[in-house]
Amino acid sequence: MEDKYLKKRFDVLSENNIDSGILETMDFKYPAGNTAVTIRTKEFTSVCPWTGLPDTAELLITYIPFKKLVEMKSLKYYLLSFRNVGILQEHVVNRILYDLSNLLQPKSIEVEARFESRGGLDTVVKVAYQSKAK
């Protein structure tokens, strides 16, 4: 008897479907300070690039703005664009860091994803960027 699950695979979207173009900014009026902004969601979802099974995570984005803040509604839509994208957990945080640091040019930014257990393993992936400008 053939195992029907060995051939099961859900369709996944490519990373080209991540919509960084939807991100918007607002002016930050206090660039001389070191205001830390932390954005947290427990509802981040992408999918495994091989099986299409969902990867869910608590996502934390912490940044110290320079001249720009990310507009929250646009960030929600951006994060939702990962929903059916096949992307490695380790690549998720790097892609978010890349897109947000290019958009905001912050003093610093850190992205951390705490992925739910899969096969008994929990994964926490963290990446940070520090501006070289003084």
Long-range CB pairs of 32-35, under 8 A, 24+ apart, other chains included = 34/64, 34/107, 35/64, 35/65
Residue 48 annotated to the active site:
yes
Helix then strand count (H, E) for the chain reads: 2, 6
Name the β-bridge partners of 1.
none
The DSSP 8-state label assigned to residue 67 in this structure reads: S
Residues 59 and 40 sit within 8 Å (Cβ to Cβ): yes
Name the β-bridge partners of 121.
118
Choosing from 3, 19, 48, 99, which is the catalytic residue? 48
| Residues 21, 18: Cα–Cα separation, whole Å | 9
Residue 27 annotated to the active site:
no
Choosing from 3, 11, 27, 55, which is the catalytic residue? 55
What amino acid positions are annotated as catalytic residues? Answer: 48, 55
